[in-house]
Structure 1
Amino acid sequence: MHTPDQTAYEAPDRLRVAVVGTGNIARFHVEALQSMPEDAALVAAVDVDPDNLALFTDRYGIPQRYSDMDRMLREVQPDLVHLCTPPGMHHGQVLACLRAGASAVVEKPPALSLAEMEEMAAAEGPPGQGPWFATLFQHRFGSGARRVQAMAEAGALGRPLVAVCHTLWYRDQAYFDVPWRGRWDTEGGGPTMGHGIHQMDLLLALLGDWSEVSATARRQAREMETEDLSVGHVSFANGAVAGIINSVLSPREESYVRVDFERATVELSHLYGYGDDDWTITPAPGCAEEIAAAWEAGEAGVNSGHSAQLAHVVSALKAKEAPPVSSTESLRTMRLVAGIYASAAQHRAITAGELRQGSRFFERMHGGGTPW
């Protein structure tokens, strides 16, 4: 453990924050937190690799180093822990944080199964007290998405009718030759779980609860346990329907979400993050002035990076409120992932209500067998 003078880090009105895992994704978390120094103080980092840990803590001026998360939780007693670790570690680490009284923010996917997700949710503290866990689904928090949500909630866009949600990315075979990738027991799934989940979460944030999904998933070109491609048709409780594609086989990469509302088409085209200019709003005939005014009146200038969501997480925790994206919202997204896998494996439509305790796809995304 490395313990320099901590006087500068002691501030009762700031959250005490620790980071577990010091790989590439952790820098996005730390740089976001360091952009809000009045609200959060980074007090510790954890990694099993001492060299990476030393480089990381020196680079970002983090005062305490640990090789063991449980020891860090006992000695540091942080308010918030950022888990920047591989997916197979999330479940146990979130439970350890919650049981130690620390809230947790976890990278996607938050767990390997719905069973793990529900156990994590059950370990949260009571309303108004916490601790809680939140999933990093930052695409909800760019000002473009928040503007569209506000327009939809105000009725300016009319009913949502039809949508498209594409995650068309490219990963070569070498990417999946890394030992923990493309495996059910360490990643929980392929691009449906680990890549397209961001776009699907944004789609659900815009359209609400889903009711039924029919899907196909397969290994089309990569050697791995999981799928490298999935295609789904989703029906929503509000009557909208959507087509979803999740691929790691697409040389021309694009992340694309489109919703056709009664009064306008809303489109987002980007790759790994977006700004306001990546959105296109096309009004229906006769609606141009109303739609333009509603769009211009909304929030602006916030990109969909980690900072956008983490500002809301820190603000909620300081107010003793559950941080976004909550366990309930994360479960809805993860249930859609499970529904795609269940439908593809069983060659039938799956309703959201089926994916409860007792379903084999509740316990494991692949249902305990070899689905394709």
Structure 2
Amino acid sequence: MTTYTCAIVGTGAIAAAHAEAVVQSAGRARLVGAVDVQPDRAAAFGAAWDVPAYASLTELLEAQRPDLVHLCTPPGSHLALALECLAAGASPVVEKPPVLSLAEFDRLRAAEAEAGVPVATVFQHRFGSGAVRLRRLLAEGVLGRPLVASAHTLWFRDDDYFAVPWRGKWELEGGGPTMGHGIHQFDLLLSILGQWTSVTAVAARQARPTDTEDVSAALVRFESGALATVVNSVISPRQTSQLRFDFERATVELEHLYGYSDADWTLTAAPGTPDVLSAWESGPADTPSGHTAQFTAVLDALDAGRRPPVSTADTRVTMEFVAAVYASAFTGKTIEQGEITEGHPFYDSMAGSGVPWLDAARSVR
């Protein structure tokens, strides 16, 4: 059995989920080091997980030469760190959002191709057994055509949450809940419904002291003909994460908050389709969504010599969707898939040609 060595960069809250995933791998992976810009925090994390702490990624890479490096830092630092990992022959496992723009993402893909070392993005909701089952039944034709869907991430973050210097800033976080919160739910939606073709969206700053939006909503068309709504909010006191898929032969619904198990899914069969329910109730075993589920899939892929999920090809579909939401919201136009390319205002920044409320504030000054 191959044992993969792993390091963690950025020892904030989400780092514990990554460390736990490695520990839960039953010897298939082991932690060999951690890095944080705050030495005391790195030392505390290292002590908690029994690994050495390093002053920089450069020092860690030289000392340990890890197979995988989990990037758990703020989004604005992801690209530079991932490029350094690739140059050293280590595979970056990058928390969402992976980078700040499509331009940065294409730089990452080019470096990945040059290094011959794969990159994986953390979109852990793809890997719970409910999502695995849903994709399988759709592919097998059990559910019929997808017709209507929704992905609503209705969360609450108060003003203190945005007091952290990098939050709510386009140049540091890349966007608001469209980029950093709802991305998990609509990535799952996209992984099930396939290629989107157009987006018509709105976004606003309703209540929070941010440069970015605190709510967005989009209407989406897919190659299959399906239509979907996607809502992303951090101003909703009753928090919930909801997905709904209406197929020809069934409605499938998921409601949870930050992670789900099979108990959070429901299926309602259309009249006269009893086989749908029995198909839904057949395997796989209940596996909660989460970092452990995705990391297991990453290890399985590496053992088999395959590119680990979620690949940069998969992630680019989601990142282009994010850019399309902002482009549509800030220009008032419907954005077609493939429209945002080099030279487009929203290729280099999710803020694109300008953010209405920031432009209005500048004009007053």
- Using structure 1 for the length normalisation, give the TM-score: 0.94
Residues 124-174 of structure 1 show CA distances to partners (whole Å, capped at 9, x for unaligned) of 147xx9411111100000000100110000000000000011000011111
Instruction: Write out aligned runs for 1:172-183 (5 A).
Output: 172-183=158-169
| Equivalent position to 1:46, from 30, 35, 42 | 35
| Counterpart position of 2:121 | 135
Any idea what the Cα deviations from partners look like across 1:161-220, whole Å, max 9, x if unmatched?
000110000111111122111110110000000000000100001100000000000111
Aligned mates of 1:291, 1:29 — CA distance in 2? 36
1:175 and 1:285 map into 2 onto residues whose CA distance is: 47
Identity %: 54
Out of 134, 140, 146, which is 1:148 matched to?
134
Residue 364 of structure 1 is matched in structure 2 by 349
Q: Cα RMSD over matched residues?
A: 1.3
Within a 5 Å distance, the mapping from 1:270-309 to structure 2 comes to 270-288=256-274, 290-309=275-294
Q: Does 1:72 align with 2:60?
A: yes
After superposing on structure 2, the runs of 4+ consecutive aligned residues of structure 1 that deviate more than 4 Å are none
Structure 2 residues without counterparts, runs of 5 or longer: 358-365
Pair 1:55 & 2:40 matched? no
Contact 2:199 2:336 in 1 (8 A): yes
Residue 19 (structure 2) pairs with residue 20 (structure 1): no
- Tell me which amino acid in the other structure corresponds to 1:246: N
- Aligned runs of 1:1-372 on 2, under 5 Å? 13-62=2-51, 64-125=52-113, 130-288=116-274, 290-372=275-357
Deviations 1:16-39 (A, max 9, x none): 111111111100000111011321
Q: 1:130·1:321 contact (CA, 8 Å) conserved in 2? A: no
Quick one: which amino acid aligns to residue 73 of structure 2?
T
Counterpart amino acid of residue 309 in structure 2: P
SS for the counterpart of 1:357 is: coil
Please give the secondary structure, in 1, of the residue aligned with 2:202: strand
Query: Conserved in 2, the CA contact under 8 Å of 1:130 and 1:322?
Result: no
- What SS does the aligned partner of 2:173 have? coil
Structure 1 residue 368: Cα displacement: 4.4
| Residue deviations 1:272-299 (CA, integer Å, cap 9, x gap) | 00000000100000012x1122112221
Q: Is the 2:330–2:354 Cα contact (8 Å) retained in structure 1? A: no
**In structure 2, C-alpha distance between the alignment counterparts of 1:298 and 1:130, rounded to whole Å:** 36
